[in-house]
Amino acid sequence: MLRLSTRDPGFDKAFRRLVRDRRESESDVARDVALILDDVRVRGDAALAEYTARFDGHALASDDDWRITPEACAAAFAALDPDLRAALETAAARIRAYHAAQLPENRDYTDATGTRLGAVWRAVDAAGLYVPGGRAAYPSSLLMNAIPAKVAGVQRLVVTTPTPRGVVNPLVLAAAHLAGVDEIWRVGGAQAVAALAHGTGRIKPVDVVTGPGNAFVAEAKRQLYGVVGIDMVAGPSEILVIADGRNNADWIAADLLSQAEHDPAAQSILITDDPVFADDVADRVGVELAMLKTQKVATESWNTHGVIIEVASLDEAPALANALAAEHVEIATDDPEPLFRAIRHAGSVFLGRMTPEAVGDYVAGPNHVLPTGRRARFASGLSVLDFMKRTSFIQLSDAALREIGPAAVALAHAEGLPAHARSVELRLGE
């Protein structure tokens, strides 16, 4: 774990190094992914079957081997413990309500020249959701991806998920039932993203692919952008906690580890103006780690990428936060608003001492699919807009064309495009 202080003469250099640090996988996966994508594009289902047998130990033979039926999802939902079912339903309802408020409005108006202008928002026809298997098989992620798509109006919602040795996560199936997923295919990895983008004999192509995944999945989405739309190329999770010394050190330690347990490459950072509190949190992290089932992953993350930054005043925190542009930012103070107003770059911000980031992962409502790796400088979390596109429209009357057409003619000639100019001039009788 790295300790820094803004009082130290070498802080600026050390902090710049922290900001530049890239925790995404350094392995050269681009070439391997390109080969997989091309293979699936050419050979379709045969390539999917080979990769699934090789990487997941699951044979794709019968229809049941390929797909998980809606009936199986409904059965998984019905079999849930009542308290867990209620928790999923609470999460789904809150996520749905928050995203419904994001739906954009169409525009249709006529300006002073008599020109009718506007735009119409429409959902994409089909969306594909990648749902990881193994350690990262989270029903909450399925809800966070599927519900905005359904709210947007997507008619066909397709999930691909690896099922190692044929084993499925019943919570993921229950979430799929609750969210209204239309198809679930037992394929994963870069090959699944290729199938969603290009289509195969069994799997029809989609228009947008969203969802988390490992380095191969992220690279597949990056390479296929343009063939399909994507949400983002996400990296390891991260949390930045800004806290004064009046916090409970156990709470803040748990908050830091809530992201560290995701991935050995995840990063947890504390900024505080109280050196004694910083020591207390560092001690309590060690205690918390000893109690975690995810101890191995969280310990590697904290030891390798954890950071505590001491500042003379929390007024210094927003500038540091803006440079880090973290996925999650907690402001654990009595009055978080002044700091919040000064933070321009963050995926999502959690205000006050009673708002742990973990609540946002499940039931608060805003999406937990957020930009990582400083991408919050230019990107936002997943929303209904990721599943929609805007079509503008224009309608001119005779009078409107005579009003604004000559300017179009002049600009077309200036750009050396006479056919553009003539298409307007003919209508103007010139």
Q: What residue ranges define each of the domains in the chain, with the CATH number in brackets? A: 2-24+235-364 (3.40.50.1980), 30-105+124-230 (3.40.50.1980), 396-428 (no CATH)
Q: What one-letter code names the amino acid at 396? A: L
The verdict on whether 327 is a catalytic residue reads yes
Query: Per the structure block, which two tokens stand in for 279?
Result: 């020591």
Active site residue 198: no
The sign of the torsion formed by the CA atoms of 255, 258, 263, 264 equals positive
Q: Is 102 helix (H, G, I), strand (E, B) or coil?
A: coil
The first and second tokens of residue 28, run together, are: 């050269």
- DSSP lists the bridge partners of residue 62 as none
Residue among 110, 106, 109 at smallest CA distance from 120: 106
Tell me how far apart the alpha carbons of residues 151 and 146 are, in angstroms, rounded to a whole number.
9
pLDDT of residue 25: 60
pLDDT at 135: 55
Q: How many residues belong to the chain?
A: 430
d(CA 53, CA 148): 32
- Which of 219, 238, 261, 327 is labelled catalytic? 327
CA distance 243 to 332: 5
E-strand spans in 29-133? 107-110, 116-123, 126-130
Q: Which entry of 177, 198, 262, 328 is annotated as an active-site residue?
A: 328
Instruction: Dump pLDDT digits (tens) for 162-207.
Output: 999 988 889 999 999 999 999 999 999 999 999 999 999 999 999 9
Cα 141 to Cα 85: distance, rounded to the nearest angstrom: 16
- Mind listing the pLDDT tens digit for each residue in 412-421? 999 999 999 9
Q: What's the first-to-final CA gap in the chain, in angstroms? A: 75
* Spans of the chain, pLDDT less than 50: none
What radius of gyration, in Å, describes the C-alpha atoms of the chain? 25
For residue 37, give the nearest of 234, 197, 276, 156 by alpha carbon: 197
